[in-house]
């Protein structure tokens, strides 16, 4: 991978390079992204204007998200102190240690199941310029652990005046998140709240309808939902845009009801 990156940089205008997307590395379901990041770190001095980085740009056909082996990101963040956007796909063996980064504006982790250790580290981190925080929580079938109390700590730690977008997406605890966020004072500063791709149903919808803290929103995304038509109609009457695309129906089996996130495996 070092040779591949070195070869690319030999042809690129390194001083002008502002964004870099890393796709498949070898067999990403067997070997992690640490080698990729080590190569980038080795060339950090040659990339003074790199501001955006996406590691793990793979389709489902190339490697299912739950199979992508990731790596440890603190050395990368330390090596690129001027980075403004980091997007990570894949939560398998992902390591995020507590960090402080003065310039990150957009931070995204896409996972089929996000381990609580990641959220715990974020709850001890600092991004004073953060504008966009997006986390795909996923399902415990593919590694999710954590609860609303944990994400309350994350939001309390990472909410800064610049934060305008919060995405807690693809969450099997979407109803619980909605109940909390509808009454969370820190949400009042947001433009967009994104709970899409998850399992939100009427419990979360009613909490939103009875909200006290969502009035400042311009957009609420609930796409991929399990909300009744009656409550969908009520949500559409709220004084901000509510996106209700991709309605789902729960599976019923032997008296039990099952909902599924959009992205797990």
DSSP characters over 183-229:
T-GGGGG-SEEE-TTS--BHHHHHHHHT-SS-TT-SEEE--SBB--H
Cα–Cα dist 115/118, whole Å: 6
- The length of the chain in residues reads 265
Q: Where are the alpha helices (DSSP H) in 109-173?
A: 116-122, 148-158
CA neighbor of 144 nearest in space, from 169, 107, 108: 169
Cα–Cα dist 122/199, whole Å: 24
Write out the residue limits of the CATH 3.80.10.10 domain(s) in the chain: 96-265
* φ and ψ of 242, to 5 deg: -120, 120
What pLDDT shows up at residue 13?
Answer: 87
What pLDDT shows up at residue 1?
Answer: 67
Predicted structure pTM score = 0.96
Structural Rg of the chain based on CA atoms: 19
> Angle at Cα 189 formed by Cα 149 and Cα 199, nearest 5°?
45
Per-residue pLDDT of the chain (265 residues; tens, 9 = 90+): 667 787 888 888 888 999 999 988 888 888 889 999 999 999 999 999 999 999 999 988 898 999 999 999 999 999 999 999 999 999 999 999 999 999 999 999 999 999 999 999 999 999 999 999 999 999 999 999 999 999 999 999 999 999 999 999 999 999 999 999 999 999 999 999 999 999 999 999 999 999 988 999 999 999 999 999 999 999 999 999 999 999 999 998 888 889 999 998 8
Domain 96-265 has CATH 3.80.10.10: yes
């Amino acid at each position: 991978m070092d040779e591949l990156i070195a070869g690319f940089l030999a042809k690129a205008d390194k001083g002008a390079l502002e964004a870099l997307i890393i796709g498949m590395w070898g067999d990403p379901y067997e070997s992690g992204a640490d080698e990729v990041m080590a190569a980038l770190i080795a060339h950090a001095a040659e990339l003074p204007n790199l501001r955006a980085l996406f590691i793990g740009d793979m389709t489902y056909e190339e490697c299912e998200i739950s199979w992508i082996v990731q790596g440890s990101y603190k050395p990368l963040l330390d090596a690129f102190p001027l980075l403004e956007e980091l997007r990570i796909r894949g939560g398998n063996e992902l390591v995020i240690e507590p960090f402080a980064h003065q310039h990150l504006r957009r931070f995204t982790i896409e996972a089929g199941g996000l381990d609580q250790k990641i959220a715990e580290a974020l709850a001890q981190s600092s991004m004073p310029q953060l504008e966009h925080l997006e986390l795909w929580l996923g399902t415990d079938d593919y590694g999710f652990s954590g609860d609303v109390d944990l994400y309350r700590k994350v939001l309390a730690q990472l909410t800064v005046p610049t934060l305008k977008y919060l995405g807690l997406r693809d969450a099997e605890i979407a109803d619980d998140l909605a109940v909390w966020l509808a009454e969370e004072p820190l949400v009042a500063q947001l433009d967009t709240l994104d709970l899409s791709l998850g399992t939100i149903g009427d419990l979360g919808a009613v909490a939103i309808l009875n909200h006290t803290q969502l009035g400042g929103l311009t957009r609420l995304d609930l796409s991929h939902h399990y909300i009744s038509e009656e409550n969908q109609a009520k949500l559409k009457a709220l004084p901000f845009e509510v996106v209700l695309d991709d309605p789902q129906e729960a599976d019923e089996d032997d008296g039990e009801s099952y909902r599924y996130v959009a992205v797990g495996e």
